[in-house]
Chain A
């Protein structure tokens, strides 16, 4: 069988088995592929009866489960036809599995991507308010709104987070070594007609107790301090030649604390504090002047 072994090793290179005895060719057909069997059957029709067993062995070797299921009921009339049917079924099944696996993999990748942290330098989309699309603001409009915020932040009583409305307002005493500082010049603050008609509003934060007498003796044009039962009239300081600002009378009854003290103002601009919590920076307004932190306004007691 040396020659048979050599031919079997190269069975797919056979073109025809014309003139070969069937008993010699039978062991060779078992080693052929489906395409080779078809080619040999076309070239040598006399071997068709010998290829039946070859097709059967091919079915069982390539698709054992499907061939067993076909053979269970009864032997098929043509194993060649059965082979091609089984091959098509398996191809369709593999295609379905491939599509399913691909979609599952894509879904998993999509889920993974959504959960990943994304770095971007773009601003997030603006929140919709009442589902009304607002037109984009021009530079002038932005500047005007910033100015309003700044002015409201400095002088507005209601916007001070250190004095929440629910708790009522509390006036803290100022230490003796603290100096009375003039209020910052309002000229530096941008005033615009967008502030609902009022140019400057002053917020009474704290009144210094000890220096009340000195203030009384030498009243300064910059600040006028009244006693607790009198309404507190405060006006912001301007330069000597400055225009008179509009005064806002604040009734003392609105203030729950009976201790009057001077307003202590610090320089509006302070150097940034070291080691700031990065999370707090989210809530600090752009201009430090309008910062509502206690340190900026000097409300917090020291010592």
Chain B
């Protein structure tokens, strides 16, 4: 039991690599990457996917889109378990309109991490996700 907990903790602190289609790579913590449902399935150790074995997830998106995705995943992980009274910055300000449509399509593919009714990750209703 203790070994399982330590192994899960160790795995959550592991770094995983996310690759864009134009050659950019982004290193994020496993717990950050698993905030996305699609990436969580890809990196699951229970599956026999190559991404899980190599801790590398290639994405068919441009580098700027992948960067924004990783940025949001980090934001979500950071403010998911904060007390309600704490002020959370608005992530909408960080979204450029030029990439908004492309980001919408990428977010739809990577399992609804963007379908938040509010910009507060702690108030997300998982049933509202796709």
A9 to B107, CA, bound (A): 18
- Taking the complex as formed, is B119 at the interface, i.e. its CB lies under 8 A from any CB of chain A? yes
Closest residue on chain A to residue B119 by CB atoms: A2
Chain A contacts for B116, CB-based, 8 A: 1-2
Q: Are A14 and B101 in touch, CB under 8 angstroms?
A: yes
- Among A3, A13, A14, A19, the residue within 8 A (CB) of B114 is A3
Kindly list chain B residues whose C-beta atoms are within 8 Å of the C-beta of A3.
Answer: 95, 100-101, 103-104, 107, 114
Beta-carbon contact of B97 and A24 below 8 Å: no
Q: How many residues of A contact B (CB 8 A)?
A: 15
Asked if A192 CB lies within 8 Å of chain B CBs, one says no
Contacts of B125 in A (CB 8 A): none
Q: Which residues, 4 to 24 on A, are CB-close (under 8 Å) to B?
A: 4-7, 9-10, 13-14, 19-21, 24
Q: How far is the CB of B100 from chain A (nearest CB, A)?
A: 4
Q: Is the pair B104, A4 in contact by a Cβ cutoff of 8 Å?
A: yes
Within 8 Å CB of B103, what residues of A?
A: 3
Most buried by A among B91, B101, B105, B114: B101
**How many residues of chain B are within 8 Å of chain A by beta carbon?**
16
Q: Using Cβ atoms and an 8 Å threshold, which residues of chain B touch A7?
A: 97, 100-101, 104
Instruction: Tell me the complex Cα distance, A4–B115, Å.
Output: 9
B104 contact set on A, CB distance < 8 A? 3-4, 7, 20, 24
Contact present for B97 and A2 (CB under 8 Å): no
Q: Which of A2, A7, A10, A13 is packed against the most chain B CB atoms within 10 Å?
A: A2
Known A1-B117, A7-B101; contact A21-B108, beta-carbon cutoff 8 A: yes
CB within 8 Å for A2 and B108 given contacts A14-B101, A20-B101: no
Q: How far is the CA of A283 from the CA of B107 in the complex (A)?
A: 99
Query: Can you list 20 residue pairs at the A/B interface with Cβ under 8 Å?
Result: A1-B114, A1-B116, A2-B95, A2-B114, A2-B119, A3-B100, A3-B107, A4-B104, A6-B92, A6-B95, A6-B97, A6-B100, A7-B97, A7-B104, A10-B97, A19-B105, A20-B101, A20-B105, A24-B105, A24-B108
Q: Which residues of B are interface residues toward A (Cβ below 8 A)?
A: 91-92, 95, 97, 100-101, 103-105, 107-108, 114-117, 119
